[in-house]
Amino acid sequence: MRSSRERDRLRARMLPSRSVNVAMDALNRCGSRVGVPELGHHLVPELRKAIRPLRWRQRRNSGQQFRPRATLGVDIDRTRGYALWDANAISPAASAMAACVEIASSLGDLDTLVRASSAKPYFVNVLREEHVRAYPALMDFALGDEILSAVVPYYGAMPRLCSIGLYYSAVSGGDAPLQGSQNFHLDTRDPRHLKCFVNLVSVEPEDGAFTFLPADRTEELRRRLGGLWRAQGSEDPTALGAYERAHAIALTGPPGSAGFVDTARCLHYGSRCRRSPRLVFMFHYATFGDYFALSNNPWRDLRLSDYPALRAQFASSSIRRELLSLH
Ligand SMILES: O=C(O)CCC(=O)C(=O)O
């Protein structure tokens, strides 16, 4: 008889996402030889749709037939790839925000957690599986009709809820060099990573605001720098700096200020906290819930593919089962 830990390990080895990784990496290597290092990231999701056409058609149909019982009144512009909104306007958001604040305050000194964590030195996810279980308001909000009324039309199909996090970003000294996701970058391996960020404290630019270039400006810059298959948009710091000065949008404002941003299409950065720490609630949709097999590291975020019991707990309707399945 296998222990549950052994079963989890075996399951992880058998996840289709392992073969997705292998295929992407192989195609990226081939692409690099002909100057298209992003080849796998572009092709694999399209191949996955093509390999299971009925599944993809069913996902498109259920997306198009979806009629939410409550709406957010927010339209995520497909050209621009983002929408800003005020989470104070809807009660499921208020309950989720209250839960996040309660969780964060139960954890003591969050700067100590950042130092103890095995993720980034400037940023940590403090949410754990037991919090998500104990505070259903978090998943109810991320899977609620209001959120779906904005997210589903953006995909034009039923997307997948991939990850969830309560992010604490620590103040780094004014002269500390920027690292990792504090620099402009794009998320890869899925054509649409729609992330929702809800500020839980008041955030101004110097408090690590999540900052991005709209998708149309990002695409324009990438075409100038070599094309969408070759350039990420951050290769030329002078061109990037000019775009940032002209077009960047920072997710600033009081608690409840929120935004949906497609981080696969909008160059972005965050956590440049020079004055005060930042606390945000984040949840993340993608085309495929297993778009990337990463080793489980809850300090980074909670990848729902690593938490089958959590997915089962919240799969309480056919739509939720869809949103919480991996492919
Ligand atoms: O807000 C941040 O610190 C950046 C997060 C980020 O890059 C992401 O979620 O893709």
Per-residue pLDDT of the chain (327 residues; tens, 9 = 90+): 455 555 555 554 445 567 888 888 899 899 888 888 888 888 989 999 999 999 999 999 999 999 999 999 999 999 999 999 999 989 999 999 999 999 999 999 999 988 888 778 899 999 999 999 999 999 999 999 999 999 999 999 999 999 999 999 999 877 889 999 999 999 999 999 999 999 999 999 999 999 999 999 999 999 999 999 889 999 999 999 999 999 999 999 999 999 999 999 999 999 999 999 999 999 999 999 998 878 899 999 999 999 999 999 999 999 999 999 998
The whole domain housing 197 covers: 52-213+248-324
Q: Is residue 40 part of a domain?
A: no
In a domain, 45, yes or no: no
45 Cα to the center of ligand 1, angstroms:
22
What is the distance in A from the centroid of ligand 1 to the CA of 156? Answer: 25
- Which residue from 197, 210, 299 has its CB within 8 A of the most atoms of ligand 1, so it is best to mutate? 210
Give the chain's domain count.
Answer: 1
Q: Whose CA is nearest to atom 5 of ligand 1?
A: 270
Reduce the DSSP state of residue 105 to 3 states and report it. Answer: helix
Find the 158 Cα to ligand 1 centroid distance in Å.
24
Q: What is the pTM of this model?
A: 0.93
DSSP structure string for 204-242: -TTBT--EE--HHHHHHHHHHTT-TTT--S-S-HHHHHH
pLDDT at 60: 97
Predicted confidence at residue 34, as pLDDT, reads 86
Is 29 within a domain?
no
Q: Is 3 exposed, middle or buried (0-12, 13-18, 19+ CB in 10 A)?
A: exposed
Q: Which of 119, 216, 223, 212 is nearest to 165 (CA)?
A: 119
Is residue 301 in some structural domain? yes
For residue 119, the model assigns a pLDDT of 77
Query: Among all chains, which residue has been given the structure tokens 């504090």?
Result: 182
In the reported structure, the alpha carbon of residue 107 is separated from the centroid of ligand 1 by a whole-number distance in angstroms of: 22
The predicted pLDDT at position 98 comes to 97
Residue 8: inside a domain:
no
Establish if 78 belongs to a structural domain.
yes
Ligand 1: distance of its center to the CA of 305 in Å?
A: 20
Q: Could you give the CA distance from residue 154 to residue 266 in angstroms, rounded to a whole number?
A: 14
CATH at residue 203: 2.60.120
Pairwise CA distance, residues 4 & 104, whole Å: 30
Which ligand 1 atom sits nearest the alpha carbon of residue 195? 9
112 within domain boundaries? yes
Listed in order, strand segments (DSSP E) in 95-139 are 123-125
pLDDT of residue 166: 98
Query: Within a domain: residue 23?
Result: no
CA 26 to chain centre: 25
Any ligand 1 atom below 6 A from CB of 163: no
Query: Which residue has the least CA distance to atom 2 on ligand 1?
Result: 270
Pocket lining: 268 vs ligand 1, CB cutoff 6 Å: yes
189 lines ligand 1 (CB under 6 A): no
**How many A from CA of 166 to the centre of ligand 1?**
12
Q: What pLDDT does residue 1 have? A: 47
Cβ of residue 301 lying under 6 Å from some atom of ligand 1: no
pLDDT at position 99 is 98
Q: Is 187 in the pocket of ligand 1 (CB under 6 A)?
A: yes
Q: Inter-axis angle of helices 53-65 and 39-51, to 10 degrees?
A: 90
